[in-house]
């Protein structure tokens, strides 16, 4: 069974809920490594959690997740990304499947920019990007309700994460696991 590494930063728990939904979706198709980035991983501005990076070394698929902060991924996620540059120079993560997920306070809160960043990070590493194959506005259960095909974009409605966003996260987790198996 391939390993799906879910690498994410979350303060108030929404991105973490999405991470767990992705894991549920991949259940039975992939082993899961939750790789939560925490503030203590960053020492004097540098991300220093080597064991988290080693989990990704072993993965067949990687999901990058962060809340959208000021129109992009949170600084803590960027610190992790910068610390992956040693792997980049050897293309250590090349050919792994990669996908991304984010959340924000607003429906149009520039989540796309965070997802674009994740896809560029994946491209830098020679990873194979996997978006959503659910056409926005066409799904009977309203998955991908924001019409974001690059990856999972969500936002809180009246302070709550809609069930359709949780279902989209489950679907993306399943899709990443499926692609990792196919990629062998
Ligand atoms: C510093 C900061 C910047 C933020 N910037 C944005 C933003 O650009 N767009 C947006 O929609 N939401 C923005 N938000 C809201 C967060 O994305 C939102 O609260 C999210 O649910 C937090 O995720 P978490 O629960 O996983 O910590 C911002 C929040 C903070 C604290």
Number of domains in the chain: 1
Mean pLDDT of the chain: 98
Distance of CA 178 to the CA centre of its chain: 16
Ligand 1 pocket, mutate which of 68, 101, 158, 169 (most atoms under 8 A from CB)? 68
- CB 49 near ligand 1, within 6 Å: no
Q: Would the pLDDT of 184 be above 90? A: no
Rounded CA-CA distance 68/61 in Å is: 22
Rounded CA-CA distance 63/58 in Å is: 13
Q: Mean pLDDT over residues 29-51, rounded?
A: 98
Rounded CA-CA distance 97/76 in Å is: 22
Phi, psi (degrees; rounded to nearest 5) at 183: -75, -15
- CB 107 near ligand 1, within 6 Å: no
Helix and strand numbers (H, E) in the chain are: 6, 9
Distance (Å) from CA 99 to ligand 1 centroid: 20
DSSP per position, 139-159: -TT-TTTT--SSSEEEE-BTT
Task: State the pLDDT at residue 149.
Answer: 98
Q: Is 131 helix (H, G, I), strand (E, B) or coil?
A: coil
The string of pLDDT tens digits covering residues 114-132 is: 999 999 999 999 999 999 9
Percent of the chain with pLDDT over 70: 100
Q: Would the pLDDT of 56 be above 90? A: yes
The residue segments making up the domain with residue 110 are 3-183
**Which residues does residue 61 pair with via DSSP β-bridges, in sequence order?**
4, 97
CB of 141 closer than 8 Å to CB of 100: no
Task: State the pLDDT at residue 113.
Answer: 98
By alpha-carbon position, which residue is closest to atom 4 of ligand 1?
A: 69
Residue matched to tokens 């520039």: 110
By alpha-carbon position, which residue is closest to atom 16 of ligand 1?
A: 104
How open is the CA angle 99-97-148, to the nearest 5 degrees?
A: 25
Task: State the pLDDT at residue 27.
Answer: 98
CATH number for position 115: 3.40.50.360
**Nearest alpha carbon to residue 55 among 11, 6, 98:** 6
């Amino acid at each position: 069974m391939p390993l799906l590494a879910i690498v994410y930063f979350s303060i108030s728990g929404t991105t973490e809920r999405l991470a767990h939904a992705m894991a549920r979706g991949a259940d039975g198709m992939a082993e899961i490594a939750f790789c939560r980035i925490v503030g203590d991983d960053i020492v004097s501005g540098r991300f220093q959690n080597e064991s988290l990076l080693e989990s990704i070394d072993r993965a067949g698929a990687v999901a990058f997740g962060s809340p959208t902060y000021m129109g992009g991924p949170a600084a803590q996620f960027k610190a992790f990304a910068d610390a992956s540059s040693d792997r980049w120079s050897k293309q250590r993560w090349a050919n792994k499947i990669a996908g991304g997920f984010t959340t924000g306070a607003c429906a149009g809160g520039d989540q796309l920019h965070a997802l674009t960043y994740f896809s560029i990070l994946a491209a830098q590493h020679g990873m194979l990007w996997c978006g959503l194959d659910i056409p926005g506005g066409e799904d009977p259960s309203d998955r991908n309700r924001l019409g974001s095909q690059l990856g999972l974009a969500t936002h809180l409605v009246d302070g709550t994460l809609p069930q359709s966003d949780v279902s989209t996260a489950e679907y993306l987790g399943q899709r990443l696991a499926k692609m990792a198996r196919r990629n062998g």
